[in-house]
């Protein structure tokens, strides 16, 4: 089996980052994963959703929005606003991002405010949702650090780092971090979100007109764990290079 970009089956794509690419956001990060590029930016509102306020639930809230920019793919992708509604895929992905990042924080420590995580895909070559989650955690961590530095938070709300990757069966071989061509042709693909404690946050697995065995599933999970461990190491490297709060 030969992968389109020549990588070994258990190798991640090349990762790189740029901090604070959105100057008006509280914190932001551009994460590049191979040919995929995603900006994650954090904004803060000093209020919580009406439903949370009415139910008297203490603490703050965190939510996400996700969008693929029109020029992120080979053929122009129409903006959601031109269709009058958010497409089902984007809605599902932004909910996944929100759930994943809420697992990374103690919402009570955020206080009576909402953190908005905007994830915009500049270039899509597979793994946009997993790249968004991995990059958004770093932007979220910097945002929380800045809120603490400005005296708006009493303590660090971060519970555990969170990262995500994809795995799949490609030409009957388990592979890590699928690019677009692999994702398109894989018989099975799966997105895995985990925290640094080794706990799963979410698994999204499906066969593309195919089935997979419990043995194959365990192989994929083992591969995902290996990849996400490497992503946590990358996040630590990026964090050491963070800008001053």
In a domain, 150, yes or no: yes
Question: pLDDT tens digit string along 79-132?
Answer: 776 666 678 888 999 999 999 999 999 999 999 999 999 999 999 999 999 999
In a domain, 1, yes or no: no
Question: pLDDT tens digit string along 37-78?
Answer: 999 999 999 999 999 888 988 999 999 999 999 999 988 988
- Host domain of residue 230: 15-240
How far is CA 118 from its chain centroid? 11
In a domain, 103, yes or no: yes
In a domain, 2, yes or no: no
Average pLDDT over the chain reads 95
How is the beta sheet containing 61-68 ordered, strand by strand? 15-19, 27-33, 36-45, 114-123, 61-68
pLDDT score, position 139: 98
In a domain, 228, yes or no: yes
Six token digits for residue 243: 């800008």
In a domain, 227, yes or no: yes
pLDDT score, position 177: 98
Q: Count structural domains, the chain.
A: 1
Please provide the DSSP assignment of 92-151 as one string. HHHHHHHHHHHTTB-HHHH-S-EEEEEEEEEE-SS-HHHHHHHHHHHHHHHHHHHHHHTT
In a domain, 9, yes or no: no
In a domain, 233, yes or no: yes
Domain harbouring 54, CATH code: 3.30.230.70
pLDDT score, position 95: 96
Residue 12 CB-half CA count within 13 A: 23
Eight-class DSSP state of 244: P
């Amino acid at each position: 089996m030969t992968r389109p970009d020549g990588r070994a089956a258990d190798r991640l794509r090349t990762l790189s980052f740029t901090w604070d690419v959105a100057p008006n956001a509280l914190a932001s990060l551009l994460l590049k994963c191979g040919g995929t590029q995603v900006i994650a930016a954090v904004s803060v509102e000093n209020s919580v959703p009406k439903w949370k306020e009415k139910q008297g639930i203490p603490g703050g809230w965190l939510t996400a929005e996700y969008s693929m920019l029109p020029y992120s793919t080979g053929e122009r992708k129409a903006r959601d606003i031109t269709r009058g509604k958010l497409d089902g895929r984007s809605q599902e992905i932004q909910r996944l991002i929100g759930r994943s990042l809420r697992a990374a924080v103690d919402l009570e420590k955020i206080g009576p405010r909402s953190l908005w995580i905007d994830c915009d895909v500049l270039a899509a070559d597979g793994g946009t949702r997993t790249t968004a989650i991995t990059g958004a955690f770093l932007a979220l961590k910097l945002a929380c650090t800045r809120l603490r530095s400005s005296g708006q938070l009493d303590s660090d709300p971060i519970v555990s780092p969170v990262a995500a990757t994809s795995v799949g069966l490609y030409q009957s071989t388990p592979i890590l971090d699928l690019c677009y061509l692999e994702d398109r042709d894989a018989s099975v693909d799966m997105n895995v979100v985990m925290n640094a404690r080794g706990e799963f946050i979410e698994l999204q697995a499906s066969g593309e007109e195919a089935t997979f065995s419990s043995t194959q599933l365990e192989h994929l999970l083992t591969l995902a764990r290996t990849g996400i461990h490497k992503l946590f190491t990358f996040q630590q490297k990026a964090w050491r290079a963070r800008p001053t709060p």
